[in-house]
Chains A and B, each alone.
Chain A
Amino acid sequence: MPTSVKMPRLGETVAEGTIGSWLKNEGDYVEVDESLAEIETDKINAELPSPVAGRLAKILVQSGATVTVGTDIALIEESADVSADTAAASSAPGPDAAPVKSDTQAAIPLLNEQDERNAATKPSSPAMNRHGEQKEEEERQRISPLARRLAREHGLDLNDITGTGTGGRVRKEDIMAYLEQRSSVATAPVQVPAVPAAVAVAPAPAYTAGEDEEVVTPSKMRLSIAEHMVRSKRTSPHATTVVEVDMTNIARWLQQHKDEFKQREGYGISFVPFVMKAVCEGIRKVPLINSTWTEDNRIIVKKRINLGVAVATDVGLVVPTIHGADQYTLAGLAKQIHAIAQRARVNKLTIQDMQGSTFVVNNPGVFGTIISVPIINQPHAGILSMDAVVKRPVVTEDDAIAIRSMMYLCLSFDHRVLDGAGAAGFLQAVRAKLQSYGREIDVY
């Protein structure tokens, strides 16, 4: 039996992917983890590692085609000596599970189109590769000269345009399609598809802008976020509950040790790892908050705690994952957060980074907000927003008024999965953990 290779889920919210190009031809032999194809989605592009070693027997989905996540895209005849782990690779994936074994794809850097474009100062690529073997440097400049001129003439940001040429190259028809879409779709509302799969880029009724209006065409990423937000609100009955947490001891510790910590470790530490650590504690107390309500009305409780961290980047919001967050110390979490945010900002997130999260911690507090009502990242059961830590006059337990560093934690949860009591129980546990720190904190 050949092993089928499936379209991976590149990110929680991505329902379909496009084969950018096949890096192997039918008949080629591949090693485990060797790149088979380039996959493109609205959010990220990545190389797809082979789940097994063997011969690429059949390409089922040609480059350029877009298929839903989990679709078989190729068949690999395994080498005789490859054994058991193939069963795992070929079995049907769970609703949010990666169809490709996660351990085979740990550190595959995403293709960074922006970098490639910027790096294209050396003489440009030597045309097409007739042997199907595409080395990265040969594909550095993924925009045709014509497309570059057209983009310049129309004042377009090439980041907004998805290339459909070989290797994701932006070419004439992509610019034309973009211009056409911009003039026709314009400000039409985002379509929510009946099947929660395709992102709504379908042609909508044309909207003609008035004299005092400007038509902005959302980027693919914006459309993807829009689709996900609408779908989440439609899927989960959101309820939001808020607790106030006294962060004074943590704030003081940070004030005193933050610089020294950064000097010593090379990365910073903030309130975020403390909240994440406390969230892990809360999940241990109320495991239901770390679950998924399935379409066939069951609740799948996740035993691993993989925390998504919302990171704002230049191109939009991404939510990469810290896997096994409960296994880290505070310093370890700080290191993970630093690494993931770095990767997100330079667009080097991996497939692994973009999948498998079970709960999200959001930190709008950095923007100074004091209360936020977040929307759940599907298919999670909850999302926690930590708002700004601000000094407030607080009545203490002994009826004195003291100046304390206070923070609101806002939890939006799926009311199908649990009720206010459960949600509050979770928040209480988070708060208790955060308030348990004394003057001296061991972050290791």
Chain B
Amino acid sequence: MNEKKVTYLEAISQAIREEMLRDEAVFILGEDVGAYGGAFKVSAGLLEEFGSERVIDTPMSEAAIIGSAIGSALMGMRPIAEMQFIDFITCGFDQIINMATKMYWRVGMPVPVVIRGPAGGGTKGGPFHSSSPEAWFFHTPGIKVVVPSTAYDAKGLLKAAIRDNNPVLYLEHKLLYRLPFLREELPAEDYIVPLGKAIIRREGEDMTILSYGAMVHQCLRAAQILEEDDDLEVEVMDLRCISPLDREAIQESVKRTNKVMIVHEDTLTGGIGSELSAILTEDLFEHLDGPITRVAAPDTPFPYAPELEAAYLPNSEKIVAAARELAAY
């Protein structure tokens, strides 16, 4: 293994460390982020390097973590609040929705908070350790939502999130943390990936698949199968940031391919796909050559049994099947 190549998780760690080095206002707080180095070891070594004033182990209260982060941000700090599992962000929901997102609107004071944590399933984590909570925040004005799918983006987007003056929810997919094929060599110099810019991961003319996070890789696998077996050229767009959405890039792609599928790991109803579908219908109705198709998890809580989890999660097989139907439409 080339030592220069880093995992998705290491890319996140690098971003935090580099930002803490760059800006003294940046600090991290959360459950076990200090002495233990974080449940997934994202913050391993930071306590030793930056000390307990900038790497703060907190009590087990998400409301307290997020609330103190907001308070410190109002006082000029740039906190990174870690949720041990993103599922527990619901305990801090009020602080985010009623405080963080509205503060600038109410009193004109920016809240440069990053709330981040491991999201998503596929790790046999059951109903409390597998969720994809983006839709709640996607719905809420005043907070940006970032969902990286590669190591490069994980680092560049986190740096951009930390430097952003708005609250940013940064969802890292725990399944991607140590995936060997996501290891890549990152630029030695400082870089960011701007928030709100999608990227085309694979070009194609027959349809566009819009996705984000871990599902991007399922989409790419599906696109490969569709090329080999069906001679279909599928374009895969990684949204990277779902709030704000890169409407321009989406329009540009769908105007070319005329068919669009949306894939996300979150449940179907009221998901990102619902809003994308509405936007596409409003903006591009007469460019559509088939129905906007969604592949998402069914509307149930996340299952625990491995067989059920496998059946529950969207995957390349489901994407291929839906794409074939859409192509034939």
> Residues of A with Cβ closer than 8 Å to B?
63-64, 126-128, 130, 144-149, 165-166, 169, 171-172
- In whole angstroms, what is the CA distance A149 to B326 when docked? 19
Tell me the smallest distance from the CB of B18 to a CB of chain A, in Å. 46
B-side residues, CB < 8 A to A, are: 258, 285-293, 325-326, 328-329
Contacts A/B (CB < 8 Å), 22 sampled:
A63-B328, A126-B291, A127-B291, A128-B290, A128-B291, A128-B293, A128-B326, A128-B329, A144-B289, A144-B290, A144-B329, A145-B286, A145-B287, A145-B288, A146-B287, A146-B288, A146-B289, A165-B290, A166-B329, A171-B289, A171-B290, A172-B289
Looking at chain A's contact residues, the main secondary structure is loop
**Which listed residue, B286, B292, B293, B325, touches A146 by the CB 8 Å rule?**
B286
Which of A63, A146, A149, A166 gathers most chain B CB within 10 Å? A146
- Distance A145 CA – B287 CA, assembled complex (angstroms): 7
Q: Give B119 Cβ to nearest chain A Cβ, in Å.
A: 28
Residues of A within 8 A of B328 (CB): 63-64, 165-166
Instruction: Assess whether A148 is in contact with B329, with CB atoms less than 8 Å apart.
Output: no
| B325 engages A148 (CB within 8 Å) | no
A127-B293, A128-B293, A146-B258 as given contacts; A169 in contact with B329, CB under 8 Å: yes
Q: How far is the CA of A332 from the CA of B153 in the complex (A)?
A: 79
Contacts of A144 in B (CB 8 A): 258, 288-290, 329
Which of B286, B288, B289, B329 is most buried by chain A, counting CB atoms within 10 A of its CB?
Answer: B289
**CA separation between A146 and B207, bound complex, in Å?**
13
Cβ contacts under 8 Å, A63 to chain B: 328
Name which of A126, A128, A149 has the most chain B CB atoms within 10 A of its CB.
Answer: A128
Give min CB distance, A204 to chain B, whole Å.
26
- State the Cβ distance, A158 to closest chain B Cβ, in Å: 14
Which chain B residue has the least Cβ–Cβ distance from A64? Answer: B328
B258: chain A residues at CB < 8 Å are 144, 146, 172
| Structural contact, A147 and B291, CB atoms closer than 8 A | no
Given A127-B291, A149-B287, 14 other A-B contacts at CB below 8 A?
Answer: A63-B328, A128-B291, A128-B293, A128-B325, A128-B329, A144-B289, A144-B290, A144-B329, A145-B285, A145-B288, A145-B289, A146-B258, A146-B288, A165-B329
B224 to chain A: closest CB distance in Å?
Answer: 22
**Are B325 and A149 within 8 A (Cβ)?**
no
Contact partners of B287 in chain A: CB under 8 A: 145-146, 149
Q: Is the CB of A149 within 8 A of B286?
A: yes
A-B pairs with lowest CB-CB distance, top 5: A127-B291, A149-B286, A146-B289, A144-B289, A172-B289
- The CA of A146 and the CA of B325, in the complex, are separated in Å by 17
Q: Are B286 and A148 in contact (CB under 8 A)?
A: yes
Alpha-carbon separation in the docked complex, A130 to B325 (Å): 8
Closest to B328 in A: A166
Cβ–Cβ < 8 Å partners of B288 in chain A = 144-146
Residue of B nearest to A144 (CB): B289
CB-nearest residue of chain B to A149? B286
CA distance A149 to B287 in the complex (A): 8
Tell me the bound Cα distance from A126 to B290 in angstroms.
11
Closest A residue to B281 by beta carbon equals A145
Residues of B within 8 A of A165 (CB): 290, 328-329
Nearest-neighbor residue (CB-CB) of B206 within chain A: A173
| Across-interface contacts of A146 in B (CB, < 8 A) | 258, 286-289
Give chain A residues whose Cβ lies under 8 Å from the Cβ of B286. Answer: 145-146, 148-149
Q: Note all chain B residues with C-beta closer than 8 A to A128.
A: 290-291, 293, 325-326, 329
A172 to B287, CA, bound (A): 9
Q: Nearest Cβ distance between residue B185 and chain A, in whole angstroms? A: 41
Which of B285, B289, B293, B326 contacts A147 (CB under 8 A)? B289
